[in-house]
Amino acid sequence: MKQGDLVVRQSYGGDVLFRIEAMQNDYVILKGLDFRLLADAPRHDLASIHDQAASQAAYMAVRNKVNQALRQINTTLEEPASIGSDGQRRRDTLDSDMYFEWPGKVLHLDGDANYLKKSMQLYEATKVPAEGFYVSESKMADALLRLLPVVQPDIVVITGHDGVLKNREGIELASLSSYKNSQNFVNAVRVAREYDRNRDSLVVVAGACQSHYEALLHSGANFASSPGRILIHALDPVYVAIKASYTPMKSIIDLPDLVSGTISGIDGVGGIETFGRYRVGYPRPKSYV
């Protein structure tokens, strides 16, 4: 067993697939492959997916669940939600020869390089203009200070890995010190809000698995994880950003519809009323190429 191997935790029934990030004596630092969870586990509790049939079955169960979730995302985003206040699809009423679409631009900071790659692929597939940067959670606040004036986004995604520290229960869940990276996410959200205090001109999506939902909202996020302190799928923050990018600027993002469209559901992601960042332009730019 070595760094980079895929493993499951036997004591948790192999419910989450992890990649070994680092090995520290008898303990191993793990990053979720499909869920934005940072965890550690004793070496003896881990089973490689190449080991026994039980481990392989657990691996396949996780992959099946993820594949089903990805199909749900693709179905939901097949035609982005360009819906006007009258309930009609904007595209259906536009003269395609004269009008053009202007979805909101995304700045995506991710504490996981693999997740960032998957996220950028989904932005590209849905034609959302996006710039992504792999930044460790502890450096995200500083990175935003530099990137926000340069990128000038409509939507900021601040995500990576998080988790509730072990042996913390009850009232301690209200403390940011009970979380692995929630304080770092809060610091980054505050930087974004200092740059633009208007929650409708700059939409902020923040958090990862089990993150301090309330603290993120109070620090200035429009949407955050996790109300139920559960694991969220790696692409849930991306889904929220895409919905914000394609919801018209005069329409409030439908919160129940947004939450139901995520993989994690109502315990995974939530937020506050926010106007979309999608615009229509006229006339269509001429091509001189």
Domain holding 36: CATH number?
2.30.30
b/e sequence 23-45, b meaning 16+ C-beta within 10 Å: eeeeebebbbbbbbbbbebeeee
Instruction: Classify 165 in phi/psi space as left (phi over 0), alpha (psi -120 to 50) or beta.
Output: beta
pLDDT tens per residue across span 115-161? 899 899 989 988 999 999 999 999 999 999 999 999 999 999 999 99
Residue 220 lies in a domain: yes
* Lowest-pLDDT range of 36-40, 205-209, 219-223, 282-286: 36-40
User: Do 188 and 218 share a domain, yes or no?
Assistant: yes
Give the number of domains in the chain.
2
Q: At what angle do helices 140-151 and 182-195 cross, to 10 degrees?
A: 30
Residue 35 corresponds to which tokens in the numbers above? Answer: 């869920």
* Amino acid 252: pLDDT: 96
User: Do 115 and 183 share a domain, yes or no?
Assistant: yes
Domain edge (last residue) among 52, 76, 100: 76
Q: How confident is the model at residue 85 (pLDDT cuts 50, 70, 90)?
A: very low
Q: How does the average pLDDT of the chain come out, rounded?
A: 84
Which residue from 277, 241, 285 is spatially nearest to 107, judged by alpha carbons?
241
Domain edge (last residue) among 48, 76, 104: 76
* Amino acid 77: pLDDT: 61
Domain that holds residue 256: 86-281
Is the distance from CB of 81 to CB of 36 less than 8 angstroms? Answer: no
Across 76-80, average pLDDT? 58
pLDDT tens per residue across span 218-256? 999 999 999 999 989 888 999 999 999 999 999 999 999
User: Which CATH number does the domain housing residue 98 bear?
Assistant: 3.40.50.261
Across 189-215, average pLDDT? 97
User: Do 127 and 156 share a domain, yes or no?
Assistant: yes
Domain edge (last residue) among 44, 76, 108: 76
User: Do 257 and 276 share a domain, yes or no?
Assistant: yes
What's this model's pTM, rounded to 2 decimal places? 0.81
User: Do 72 and 90 share a domain, yes or no?
Assistant: no
Residue 55 corresponds to which tokens in the numbers above? Answer: 């481990």
Residue 289 lies in a domain: no
Across 64-77, average pLDDT? 64
